[in-house]
Amino acid sequence: MVYREAIDHASRNVGLLACAISAGIHGALVPEHFAEGMGAGAGFVVATVLLAASAVAVTLRPAGSLAAAVTATVFAGLLVAYGLATTTGVPVLHPDPEPLDGLAVATKAIEAAGLLAAFTLILRPLAATVLQPKGT
């Protein structure tokens, strides 16, 4: 039981930290992206708000909750959006592909860790239910 609680605690901390770091970076880049265009700037504002809300939700909600699923969706969306932004561009928001950037790659690595932590929070209660031997 203590082991499961430790996993939940660690996953929440990683998810919270990933949300906070990514929100801070996206928030700091809002003015630069508004200079590129309204769509890119608005996209960064939305990302910042979603990440901040996810940080609060992951802090307050237990493992297996809707908050973990939404957080995983936010991270997955950001990773896919960056993949598109660097290969084909994102229609309306950022139509021209952008070059790889060190800060962006580091942010995506942090978001990937957050995605993994969110999946752990989603799947751990399911695994405990499905894999727990009868009578224990």
What pLDDT was estimated at residue 64? 65
Q: In the chain, where are the structural domains located? A: 2-130
Burial 71-104 (b: 16+ CB within 10 A, else e): bbebbeebbeebeebbeeebeebbeeeeeeeeeb
How large is the average pLDDT for residues 71-84? 95
Please provide the average confidence, as pLDDT, over all residues in the chain. Answer: 86
Q: pLDDT confidence of 8, banded at 50, 70, 90?
A: confident
Q: Is a pLDDT exceeding 80 seen at residue 73? A: yes
Give me the DSSP letters along 4-16. HHHHHHHHHHHHH
How large is the average pLDDT for residues 24-47? 93
